[in-house]
Structure formats: C-alpha cells, structure tokens
Chain A
Amino acid sequence: MKRFTRLFIRLDETNKTTDKLAALIDYFSAAPPRDAAWAVTYLTGKRPRSPVNAAQVRAWVQSAANIPEWLFTESYDAVGDLAETVSLLLPEPGMGSSLSLSDWIETRLLALAGEADESVKRQTLLAWWAELDRPGRFVLTKLITGAWRVGVSQRLVTRALAETLAVDKDVIAHRLMGSWQPDDSFYAMLSSADTTDTDISKPYPFYLAYSLDQEPRALGDHRQWLVEWKWDGIRGQVIKRQGKVSIWSRGEELVTERFPEIRRAAGRLPDGTVLDGEILAWSHDKDGGVMPFGHLQRRIGRKTVGKKLLEEVPVTFMAYDMLESQGEDIRRLPLDRRRDLLEQLLGGESADQALRLSPVVTANCWQTLDSKRQESRDLHVEGFVLKHRNSPYGVGRRRGDWWKWKVEPYSVDGVLLYAQRGSGRRASLYTDYTFGIWQGDKLVPFAKAYSGLNDEEIREVDRFVRRNTVEKFGPVRSVPPELVMELHFEGIRRSTRHKSGLAVRFPRIARWRRDKSADQADSLSTIIALLPASERD
C-alpha cells in the first residue's frame, strides 16, 4: 500500500507525461506482479464492486469529524473530490500500513464487500482510516470511491508496462483487454512468448478515429477512402469462438446478456470470428432504421431485458470491420481486404435482422459526399467515418487513416443563469453552468455545460459569479442574466423532465459571445424549429 501510495503521489505531483511514465515504470519494476495487477485494475477503472457506497462514506466521516452534514457538503464543494475531502476532514492520522496493496484489496476490501452488517462495515472502515497516514487514507478512499483524476490514461499504463517488460505495446494493450484475474502470473501473462490466448472471450483493443480538423480535400483522392455513416450507438465487438458468443462494449464491459437478439444472430457465425461495429436501436418497420440514441439508452441500463422492451426497442449490430477470420488475427490486412471478408460473411439475403453490414456510401467527389453528409440528422447518424482503404486495424486513437467527419453541431446562444463549483482541478471555481433561453419574456433553464472556456475565461466568469450572486441554493448560485455564450450540442429531443421541455446531447460552450446582450439570446421557438419535423408540435 505504501508503494502504491507513493506512486499515486508521484503521479499527482506532476503534469508531465514523461514524469508520469517514469513513475509508473519505477512502480512496475519494483512491485510484485500481484500488486501491479491490482494497480492496473484500479488505474484503468476496472475496480471490483465497492464494499461501501459514497453516501455511507460521507455519513461516517461526518460523525468521525464531528461536523454537520451541511458542513461536509461545503467542504466537498471547496475540495471537489470525495476521497480528498475525507482525508482532510478525518481526525489526526495514524502511522501508515505495511500491508501490500494486494493484501489490502484481497483480504480487506473484497472481504468487506461480503459483510452484511452495516455497523461492522462502519467500524472496520473507521479503524482502517485510523491506521493509515493521510496519503494512505486518501488512496484507500480512492480505492473505494473510484475516480482517480490523476491524469493517467489506459494508454500510458500500457506504455509503462510495455517498457518495463520490453514487450510491444500493442501486444500489451491486447492482453490487457477483457477479463483477467489479478494474480501472481500477471507479468508472465503480459510478457509470455506464447501468443495463443487461452481466453476465448478476449476482445481486441478498439481502433478509434480522430475528428477531421481540415478540409476533406486535403486527404487526397476520395477513392482512396472508404466512407460509412457514423452510427450513433454503442461501439462494440462481437466474438464467436468455440461455439460461444461474447459481446463487449468499448468500455470493456461484457454485455452479451443485454442484447439477446445480437447474441442469437452471432451464434450462426463461424467459429473464430471477431466483428467490430455499433450496437444500435433499430426499428424493423417498413420505414424503419436506426432509432434516436435516447431509445437505446433504455436498453443500456438493464442486465436482463423484458419481452415488452425487446419489442419496443429492438437492437441490431451494425458490423463495419472484421478483426479475426477463421481463428486468424487479420488486423494487419488492409481495410479493403478485411471488408471483402466481412461482405462474404454478412452479404446476401440470409443476413439476420440483428446483424447487419454497414453500407458503404459512394459518391463521385468530396463535394457530393459533403452534400450527402447534410442528410445525417434525418438519418439519425452523426456524419461520416472516413477510413483509408489500405489501413490496418490499429490500437487506440491515432492520426492519419481513420477520421470522423461529423455534421456541424447545433448552435444556440444561451444566457448564464446558475453556476456551481467544479471538481478536480476546477475545484472551488464556478465552472458548471446552467444556461437559459427566452420563452416569451422569461428565461427558462435549457442546458448545463461546463467545458469550452479557457482558464482565463473561467476565472473571469468565476469572479462575475462571486461578485454578482443573487441567491444561493446550497452549492448553486443564481446570477443576473448578463453573460451570453454560444452553446453547441449534438442532438435534441422532447423531454418532460426538463423545464424547457427539451433535452440536448453533449452540450458544451463554443465561445463567449461578449458582443451579445441577454436580450439577443435565442428563444425556445428557434430551438423547437431545430427538432425533427415530426416532433415540432
């Protein structure tokens, strides 16, 4: 635990990737494989189920620190991180613990998860906190509550392991995919010369596209590029090996049980097949097709799906790439070749409704493509994905041969109404905003947004909020309606849960419209006009 705590402190103390990488390499070089395996599990966000929930942690710390609930909340708002707030509020710390990280997790945390009696849990956690020094408490509470916010990506962990073990990083990335047990064989599993995997459910690392930040013409001859719709669903991998189907989401969650239609369809694939594609809500009606993302959300949260939901929101797997064919890893083959194999597999009449081949969009020039792209919203897609026909299937996000060419976002000018303090490095600054738009002569809250301003602008808005607070509602402050910001978002739909009657997807601040006053902001009617025709009334 001390070694892991030191790693955490080192990662937290620097903003430089090279220093973080060095800290990780030092850790992996010194830590026993079992500890390292657990460290990777937690740092990449795959922690096991937590033995206690955040509300319990809060309640127990309040009583240990002898402070009322509202004061805990005020403290949390100033700190912006639950584990850190806990470590700062608890009474005087202890000396630290010499137990290893894996002992802490296996003999303590996992055991506590099985404890039914809440008062035992409380006593146990309080005793652990009392035993640890302040950094140790902080790290323990992080293990329990998650959200490291220490600037370490899965990619960086992969690189550090690759350098420590002298194994290619794409190989490490693949071996870290799927489910593996954190145990003494961790390093052996990662550096084994034997490349045949015993785990028949193991997915490949996903290859991701960059957003196109230039004119598509700059990409050269359009015929060099395979153009497909950018589907708005859940990225997934369908695996059929030794008669067994596994469906993975991009978050490396095994979701096979949640999508029985896809599972059934994939059961008919030959063994040794891995497909990359998108899980979509799909209407099989005559005028059917992909349904808006909101429908799919109803399927996401459910472990098991009822008959009614299966009928109302059927799903399909829109396959667009093939990573394994007849048991062979074919990721190094050029895309055209992989596409041929995919078409041989899924083309033709017999295709199952729940397993489809992503169609290729053809056009005679970039300009025609651009005008087709404008149809995206009506088709419930986000634009195009452009893939170079010679490209292999890589690992992670790389520039060059896969691009997202999205449709322009919706844009609306909103007025700042409420502000709340942020978390992490934005702790104690007012960075989370609610914007309003006009409905008659009233401003109604319309969207929450927090990204998009630079640090200087954030400080300026923070000062504005502090100087002009009208009312405080707990952590939220209302301000006079003066600041106008241009907001961008990806989707819009009717919602009964929102005051404006509308819900938007991925709202963010595009820029501060200092040239506009509040009365020049947009009104509800202009936004309703953005809705698909069928939803306007």
Chain B
Amino acid sequence: MSAPALSADDSGLYCAAGDFHIDPWRPVKRAIITHAHGDHARPGSDAYLCAEPGRLPLVLRVGDRVQTLAYGQQLTINDARVSLHPAGHVLGSAQVRVEVGGDVWVVSGDYKRQADPTCDPFEIVSCRVFISESTFGLPVYRWEPSGFVMNELVDWWQNNADAGRPSIVLSYVMGKTQRIMASLASLVDCEGRLFAHGALQKMNEAYRASSVYLPTAPNPLEVGDGYDFSKAIILAPPSVAGTPWMGRFKRGVTARASGWMRVRGRRRRLALDRGFVLSDHADWPGLLCTIFETKAERVVLTHGNSTVLARYLSERGLPAEALTLDRWGEQEEQE
C-alpha cells in the first residue's frame, strides 16, 4: 500500500497528493470545509472550498475567498480527485470523498441521519477508509424522531403561553436554530409569536438567501418597549443564559435543544427548566449503521467518544482507531 491519502499534521487533516487540508484549525494554503461551524471553519486560510449550498454561511465565518462545488461534482486537485456529498448536519454540510490512485477515503465531517427541513439528507458514500465523527459515540445516545421532539416542544410552548410565560429556547446559532424555526412553521402558525435574538439574524438571512424557507422571526429588542412576550417563543444562542438580556422576558421559561440534553445531569447543571433532545449529530445507532453501510475496511474516529467507538468496532471485528485532530485534545462539541 502506498502512502495514506489522508493523515493528520499540525494543522489538521492533510491530503499530500492534493496538497490541501480538510477543516484545518489554523490558516493553510487550501482548505476544504465540511460545514460552517466555528470548530470546523476557521478564518485566515488563502482559499476555501465548500459545497454549493453552504457558501453564504461560510462567507459569514471566513470572508469571501470561498469557492464551491455542487454535491456529487468531481474536482481534480493535483493528484487527488475530490467530491462533496450531503452530510445532513446543517445547510451545505458535506462529506469529503478523496480518491488517490484508486484508493477511496471519505471524511464525514459532522452528520446526522434524521430528517431536517433545512438541509439535504445524508448520503452513503462507499469507501475503503471512513473517517467518521463520534460526538455521541455511547449507546445512551439514541434520538427520538425529530417530529416527536418538535411536537413536545410545541406542547411546552403552548403550556407556557397558557400560563402567560414566555418560552426561551437556547439553540446553536447555525443549524439548530433554523431547523427549529422551519419545523415550528410546519406544525403551527408562528406569525407574531416567534422571535430570534439579534445574534441569530445574520445567519437566518444567509439561510433565506440560500432558498431555505424560514418563518418571520424579528429581533425581540426591535419590536418596541412594552411588547407582551407572554405567549411568545424566543430563540437565542446559549451564551445569553444568565445575562441581563433574559431579564426582558418576565417569568420566562428556558429550554435548550441539544443532543446533550439526553442526560439529565447536564440539563440540571445548566439550570434549565427543560431540555429537548434534538441533535444535528448521529446517535449511537446512526453512527453504527452508517459506518457499516459505507462498507469501509477501516474506520478512523474523531471528536467526542472516539476511543469508545473505536474499541467497540474493533471488538466487533472492524479495524478502527481514534484520531485526535483538535489541538485542544478532547473538546466537547457545541451543539
């Protein structure tokens, strides 16, 4: 076997044949970005490449040196053939297929197998080596169908509204927020009752400009003093927890939507009233079935519980290893 198509160097995952990095954590010459979350898309590189639907969110993150590739379209970079395939994580999220001398590697980036109205669904790409995320690589992480969770969220909102209490949902700026907005709009009429914190507005606009339908959600600070939020639902980034911004919503009830909410201790640590288990990552069964469906002969795990999943797969006869990519070692995935 010749040199591996991809290997870790001090900037991240590197393809020597193509001379490019995937999701580098410091500036490089050429970066392929799986999606525009902060821990995957860092500014400062000379050139960026991402999937076509993810262009606007990525421009918000790294500026306009962004080239795009349609899903499935092939591009030759030096001695490597590259194509991007939907990962179902957030708008424009992509798996990176790298072929060097007939050897096929796929880098999953972050992915999920559940339905999401704001992005293309995950697509299985066969490969010899699969580099998979493993954020939720423990069997306690199993998701309910998103429709079920969204109905719970609507019930919660309704009960709060009946009690005259504003509902505040803390959700990640890109992806989760828009997924909740689009899902809410498909279940109930949100007109005049849905608001989004100012820090979410730019990303919402980027989604709308990318032809994703989102309901109207004005900034609650711009609807005039004395507005009655008692029946409203307000989306906000997790960083607002405990800040004076929250004080505006008298008797507000706070929830967070994240895969981490599956575990009570976390919800209680954050002093939340409610946690909704809604994740943009694959759960344990999702990781296992994806890994087996790729028919990979070798699996490399990154992020989260990588050592656990690697050991489990190895014990089941599939060669697997954990790879620490982040310079911070194990850092917890935000979502």
Which A residues lie at the B interface, using CB under 8 A? 12-15, 65, 67-68, 70-71, 74-75, 78-81, 84-85, 88-89, 423-429, 455, 463, 466-469
Number of A-B contacts (CB under 8 A): 77
CB closest chain-B residue, reference A80:
B265
Tell me, yes or no, whether B330 is within 8 Å of chain A by CB: yes
Interface members, chain B 276-310 (any A CB < 8 Å): 305, 308
Question: Do A81 and B269 touch (CB < 8 A)?
Answer: no
Instruction: Give chain B nearest CB distance to A150 CB in angstroms.
Output: 9
C-alpha spacing A463/B328, complex, angstroms = 9
CB-CB < 8 A to A78: which residues of B?
138, 140, 263, 305
Question: Do B142 and A466 touch (CB < 8 A)?
Answer: no
**Given contacts A71-B308, A85-B140, are A467 and B264 in contact (CB under 8 A)?**
no
Which B residues lie at the A interface, using CB under 8 A? 138-140, 142, 262-266, 268-269, 271, 273-274, 305, 308, 311-312, 315, 328-331
CB-CB < 8 A to A68: which residues of B?
312, 315
**Given contacts A78-B263, A466-B330, are A425 and B273 in contact (CB under 8 A)?**
no
Within 8 Å by CB of B329, from A12, A14, A466, lies A466
C-alpha spacing A520/B308, complex, angstroms = 38
Question: Do B308 and A79 touch (CB < 8 A)?
Answer: no
Instruction: Give chain A nearest CB distance to B22 CB in angstroms.
Output: 22
Q: Secondary structure at chain A's binding surface: helix, strand, loop or mixed? A: helix
C-alpha spacing A67/B264, complex, angstroms = 22
C-alpha spacing A40/B141, complex, angstroms = 32
Question: Do A88 and B328 touch (CB < 8 A)?
Answer: no
Instruction: Give chain B nearest CB distance to A419 CB in angstroms.
Output: 13
Question: Do B305 and A74 touch (CB < 8 A)?
Answer: yes
Question: Can you list 6 pairs linking A and B with CB atoms under 8 Å apart?
Answer: A70-B311, A71-B139, A71-B308, A79-B263, A81-B264, A84-B263
CB-CB < 8 A to B315: which residues of A?
68
Question: Do B268 and A15 touch (CB < 8 A)?
Answer: yes
CB-CB < 8 A to A70: which residues of B?
311
Instruction: Give chain B nearest CB distance to A134 CB in angstroms.
Output: 10
Instruction: Give chain A nearest CB distance to B180 CB in angstroms.
Output: 20
CB closest chain-B residue, reference A74:
B308
Extra 14 A-B pairs, beta carbons < 8 Å, given A75-B138, A78-B138, A467-B331: A12-B268, A15-B268, A75-B139, A78-B140, A79-B265, A85-B140, A88-B142, A425-B269, A427-B263, A427-B266, A428-B265, A466-B329, A466-B330, A469-B330
Question: Do A423 and B265 touch (CB < 8 A)?
Answer: yes
Within 8 Å by CB of A14, from B142, B273, B308, lies B273
Instruction: Give chain A nearest CB distance to B86 CB in angstroms.
Output: 28
Question: Do B268 and A425 touch (CB < 8 A)?
Answer: yes
Instruction: Give chain B nearest CB distance to A141 CB in angstroms.
Output: 13
Within 8 Å by CB of B140, from A89, A425, A466, lies A89
CB-CB < 8 A to B312: which residues of A?
68, 71
CB-CB < 8 A to B305: which residues of A?
74, 78
C-alpha spacing A463/B332, complex, angstroms = 9
Question: Do B262 and A88 touch (CB < 8 A)?
Answer: yes
Question: Do B265 and A426 touch (CB < 8 A)?
Answer: yes
C-alpha spacing A85/B263, complex, angstroms = 9
CB closest chain-B residue, reference A462:
B332
Question: Do A13 and B139 touch (CB < 8 A)?
Answer: no
Question: Do B330 and A467 touch (CB < 8 A)?
Answer: yes
CB closest chain-B residue, reference A429:
B269
CB-CB < 8 A to B330: which residues of A?
466-467, 469
Which of A13, A81, A426 has the largest number of chain B CB atoms within 10 A? A13
Question: Do A79 and B140 touch (CB < 8 A)?
Answer: yes
CB-CB < 8 A to A468: which residues of B?
329
The 6 closest A-B pairs by CB, nearest first: A427-B265, A88-B140, A425-B268, A467-B329, A425-B269, A466-B330
CB-CB < 8 A to B271: which residues of A?
15
CB closest chain-B residue, reference A78:
B138
CB closest chain-A residue, reference B328:
A467
Question: Do B265 and A425 touch (CB < 8 A)?
Answer: yes
CB closest chain-B residue, reference A15:
B271
C-alpha spacing A68/B271, complex, angstroms = 33
CB closest chain-A residue, reference B140:
A88
Within 8 Å by CB of A89, from B139, B273, B274, lies B139
CB-CB < 8 A to A429: which residues of B?
269
CB-CB < 8 A to B265: which residues of A?
79-81, 84, 423-428
Within 8 Å by CB of A424, from B139, B268, B328, lies B268
CB closest chain-A residue, reference B307:
A472
Instruction: Give chain B nearest CB distance to A159 CB in angstroms.
Output: 22
C-alpha spacing A429/B266, complex, angstroms = 9
C-alpha spacing A81/B267, complex, angstroms = 13
Instruction: Give chain B nearest CB distance to A152 CB in angstroms.
Output: 13
C-alpha spacing A68/B139, complex, angstroms = 11
C-alpha spacing A88/B264, complex, angstroms = 11
Which of B140, B273, B330 has the largest number of chain A CB atoms within 10 A? B140
Instruction: Give chain B nearest CB distance to A88 CB in angstroms.
Output: 4
CB-CB < 8 A to B138: which residues of A?
71, 74-75, 78
**Given contacts A75-B139, A79-B140, are A13 and B273 in contact (CB under 8 A)?**
yes
